[in-house]
Amino acid sequence: MDGCLLNEIIRRYESVSFSVQKKAETLIKEEISEDLTSDQHFVLRYIHSKEECTSTELADVFHVKKSSVTAIINRLVNRGLIERRRDTDDRRIVYLSLSESGEELFELSQEKVHQLVASFIQKFDKEEIMQFISTYEKLDGYLVDLIKGEEEEK
């Protein structure tokens, strides 16, 4: 690929990626803001998908420092949305799971997000959206590999 075309593609990617991310983040915040922050929603979604996890796992998945995750977890625990359980063999390990009210709030906020995403996904025909999702998943795979490679070099 020639340098001018590559530069133009990179410029367009950066521009649209930033724009879409910020707009989607704003719309999601508007849907769930009375109940949760976006970060809290994503933490609840991850815990919901795994049933239980540790704060270290959350920090790794979200590529943030453990102190950032701890602050989010503490707020969610204080609201009664997450429960902590110590490992019986190693008391240093603390497992996180959704409480009953955490599960209910997650389901409610997830339904709002689902309706929002459905409202714009339906603007595309099936072939377009399937190709987009496939390409986006492929990009995610490349980024995962890139991050793993960087972590292995450290």
Backbone φ and ψ of 57, nearest 5°: -60, -45
Residue 140 lies in a domain: no
> What is the per-residue pLDDT across 93-109, written as a single tens digit (0 to 9) for each?
999 999 999 999 999 99
* C-alpha closest to that of 82 among 103, 66, 65: 103
Cα dihedral across residues 135, 140, 143, 145: positive or negative: negative
CA dihedral 60, 52, 95, 57 (to 10 degrees): -10
Residue 138 lies in a domain: no
**Structural domain of 119:** 3-123
> What is the per-residue pLDDT across 117-132, written as a single tens digit (0 to 9) for each?
999 999 999 999 999 9
Global pTM reads: 0.80
CATH number for the domain spanning 90: value is 1.10.10.10
Amino acid at 93: I
Residue 149 lies in a domain: no
* C-alpha closest to that of 73 among 107, 110, 46, 108: 46
C-alpha 28/C-alpha 41 separation (Å) is: 10
- Token pair 């969610």 is found at 76
Tell me how many domains the chain contains.
1
> What is the per-residue pLDDT across 44-89, written as a single tens digit (0 to 9) for each?
999 999 999 999 999 999 889 999 999 999 999 999 999 999 989 9
